[in-house]
Structure 1
Amino acid sequence: MSTHDHDRDAPGPAAPDATTVDALGSLSKALETAERARGHLYGFHQLTGTADFELDRAVRLLREAGHHAWADRVETEILGRNVMPGHWTYQIVDAYNETYYEPFRQLERTAVAALSGGREHRFEARLQRERRTPGHPDHAPAGGADG
């Protein structure tokens, strides 16, 4: 049975106390925020690459229009330029992943395994139990039994 199955909200024999559940919820929320930041980094990487490739067209069109000096400037000053000293965007993404994201993700998984018996999303499961309307069919847990 996976850590995401419907019984994850069941207290179980090694259920952590409420403060631990809150702490793990905050840790997971922080990781989710880092996940979003990581997605923005990939967007930054892809958009910057798209802009750089579009410069090829700009250079070509400037040359066709007879603006060779401007085409040369775009080609030599901007096309293929580092976005930070010595770095292209992929290197920034790689550094984020290796230096921050992967250690963060590993620590969060290890903390959940050690403090919550490996059951993820206990905080959310608790909220789900507390916010259900007993007997309402759209609030019933998986399997249809109200719990």
Structure 2
Amino acid sequence: MPEQPDPGHRRPVGADDGTVEAVGKVSEAYEWMIRARGSLYAFHQELGRADLILGEAVLQLRAAGHHDLADRVATEWLGRNALPDRWTFEVVEAFDDTYWNVAVDLEREVRETLLGGRRHVHESEMKVARRDGSDDAALPGPDDDVADHPGDGRPAT
């Protein structure tokens, strides 16, 4: 079985439990923010696709002789701002500039300052506890580690 936790996720010397837990919370918030950003980008792409489809519908309405309705859809709905004065690309850019970039920088700074830049130290310790039985809810196991780690340059043993 490979050494656990692996050196890249091991708690740095001098990092106490409270620090590891606090950085773990920062990381958890960061991961939720990543999910939220993904939802925002999905909204951007989905609404953009809807607008393209609506443009096709306008052409079809006109071709079918429904010029008045086509004109209303084209002037009142097609290309409409998603929020006041903003299309969705402007919303995601504003989010990135206002929130995302600050959060990415601060999450990294917290990790670098308190844990030597190591990621997922808290989760790594949870993994060990779940697998060695030291977690009250767990028994030792499962024994599913493999000797080689594809892609990391280490040879299989």
TMscore range, shorter length: 0.7 to 0.9
Q: Does 1:39 align with 2:45?
A: no
The answer as to whether partners of 2:11 and 2:115 remain within 8 angstroms in 1 is no
- Hey, what's the Cα distance between the residues in 1 that align with 2:145 and 2:58? 59
The answer as to whether partners of 1:60 and 1:71 remain within 8 angstroms in 2 is yes
- 1 or 2, which has the higher helix percentage? 1
Deviation at 1:139, TM superposition (A): 5.0
CA RMSD of superposed structures (Å) = 2.1
- Hey, what's the Cα distance between the residues in 2 that align with 1:72 and 1:7? 64
The answer as to whether partners of 2:9 and 2:119 remain within 8 angstroms in 1 is no
TM-score with structure 1 setting the length: 0.86
What percentage of residue pairs aligned between the two structures are identical? 43
| Counterpart position of 2:143 | 137
Q: Which runs of 5+ in 2 are unaligned?
A: 133-139, 150-157
- Hey, what's the Cα distance between the residues in 1 that align with 2:63 and 2:109? 59
The one-letter amino acid paired with 1:137 is D
Q: Does 1:24 align with 2:28?
A: no
Deviation at 1:141, TM superposition (A): 8.5
Deviation at 1:7, TM superposition (A): 1.2
Deviation at 1:56, TM superposition (A): 1.4
Q: Which runs of 5+ in 1 are unaligned?
A: none
The answer as to whether partners of 2:44 and 2:88 remain within 8 angstroms in 1 is yes
- Hey, what's the Cα distance between the residues in 1 that align with 2:81 and 2:141? 60
- Hey, what's the Cα distance between the residues in 2 that align with 1:141 and 1:10? 19
Q: Does 1:48 align with 2:54?
A: no
- Hey, what's the Cα distance between the residues in 2 that align with 1:61 and 1:100? 41
The answer as to whether partners of 2:62 and 2:70 remain within 8 angstroms in 1 is yes
| Counterpart position of 1:93 | 92
Question: How do residues 113-132 of structure 1 correspond to structure 2 at under 5 angstroms?
Answer: 113-132=112-131
